[in-house]
């Protein structure tokens, strides 16, 4: 039986075809990896955009000013709601007032804005509208996006709401600062450190 002799030219063609095949596989792998990477980057960018949009759509509030209200334990604050979001019921906005003494005592008081929770009356009204010194005053019921409001707070604790803990006179006598937190429903919270600028003199800044 006669065998055909395979020429060097045929071997070279086969090796060349194999090299081309391997190169195509490598190229396909590189393209596939690039596509996967681009897909992941697009997905992450979409998630970041979605999160930014969600954050911009929820309610936000910022405390823009604070003052001593009665040179004892009452304070006056101004807050501004973000321009996006929706109206928020006043009673759904909670405040937390805290301070710590050097002996380790931790004081806190929490309630809805406008709810004295057993202390002296506190008030909430929109900037530019008549305040609590006018007859027939009532606290606002709803907070509107983009609007600014005044609100008063009274020192004291949950156990002793008529006390002066964390109020201007307490901060002045003890040389400490306090913390105020505002919590919105289905939204963000804000924190403000309270530090007296001129003792507990009425009208002096407290932030």
In this prediction, residue 188 carries a pLDDT of 82
Structural domain contains residue 94:
yes
Strand-pair category, 178-183 with 106-112: unpaired
Structural domain contains residue 187:
yes
| pLDDT tens-place string over residues 58-117 | 688 999 999 999 878 899 999 999 888 889 999 999 999 999 999 999 999 999 998 877
Judgement on whether residues 97 and 29 belong to the same structural domain of the protein: no
Judgement on whether residues 1 and 97 belong to the same structural domain of the protein: no
| pLDDT tens-place string over residues 164-184 | 999 999 999 999 999 999 999
Judgement on whether residues 67 and 163 belong to the same structural domain of the protein: yes
Confidence grade of residue 12 (pLDDT, cut at 50, 70, 90): low
Judgement on whether residues 14 and 86 belong to the same structural domain of the protein: no
Structural domain contains residue 202:
no
CA distance 101 to 106: 7
In this prediction, residue 11 carries a pLDDT of 65
Average pLDDT over the chain reads: 85
Structural domain contains residue 98:
yes
Structural domain contains residue 36:
yes
Give the chain's domain count.
2
CA distance 134 to 145: 25
Please name the residue that has the structure tokens 């997905």: 43
- Which residues partner with 65 through β-bridges? 78
In this prediction, residue 120 carries a pLDDT of 79
Judgement on whether residues 93 and 186 belong to the same structural domain of the protein: yes
Judgement on whether residues 32 and 129 belong to the same structural domain of the protein: no
Using the predicted structure, report yes or no on whether residue 54 has a pLDDT greater than 50: no
Structural domain contains residue 17:
yes
Using the predicted structure, report yes or no on whether residue 6 has a pLDDT greater than 70: no
Judgement on whether residues 98 and 172 belong to the same structural domain of the protein: yes
Judgement on whether residues 86 and 164 belong to the same structural domain of the protein: yes
Structural domain contains residue 203:
no
In this prediction, residue 7 carries a pLDDT of 58
Residue pair 95/180 in contact (Cβ under 8 Å)? The answer is yes
| Closest CA relative to residue 166, chosen from 197, 203, 206 | 206
Judgement on whether residues 92 and 51 belong to the same structural domain of the protein: no
Structural domain contains residue 85:
yes
In this prediction, residue 8 carries a pLDDT of 58
Judgement on whether residues 102 and 166 belong to the same structural domain of the protein: yes
Q: Which domain holds residue 114?
A: 61-194
């Amino acid at each position: 039986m006669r065998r055909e002799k395979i020429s060097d030219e045929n071997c070279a063609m086969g090796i060349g075809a194999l090299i081309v095949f391997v190169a195509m596989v490598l190229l396909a792998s590189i393209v596939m990896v690039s596509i996967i990477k681009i897909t992941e980057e697009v997905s992450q960018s979409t998630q970041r955009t979605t999160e930014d949009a969600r954050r911009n759509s929820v309610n936000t509030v910022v405390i823009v000013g604070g003052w001593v209200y009665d040179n004892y334990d009452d304070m006056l604050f101004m807050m501004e709601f973000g321009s996006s979001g929706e109206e928020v019921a006043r009673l759904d906005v909670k405040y937390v007032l805290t301070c710590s003494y050097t002996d380790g005592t931790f004081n806190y008081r929490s309630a809805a804005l406008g709810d004295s929770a057993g202390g002296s009356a506190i008030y909430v009204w929109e900037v530019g509208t008549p305040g609590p010194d006018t007859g027939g005053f009532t606290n606002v019921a709803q907070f509107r996006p983009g609007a600014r409001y005044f609100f008063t707070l009274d020192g004291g604790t949950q156990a002793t709401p008529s006390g002066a803990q964390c109020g201007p006179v307490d901060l002045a006598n003890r040389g400490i600062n306090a913390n105020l937190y505002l919590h919105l429903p289905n939204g963000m919270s804000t924190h403000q450190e309270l530090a007296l600028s001129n003792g507990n003199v009425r009208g002096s800044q407290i932030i």
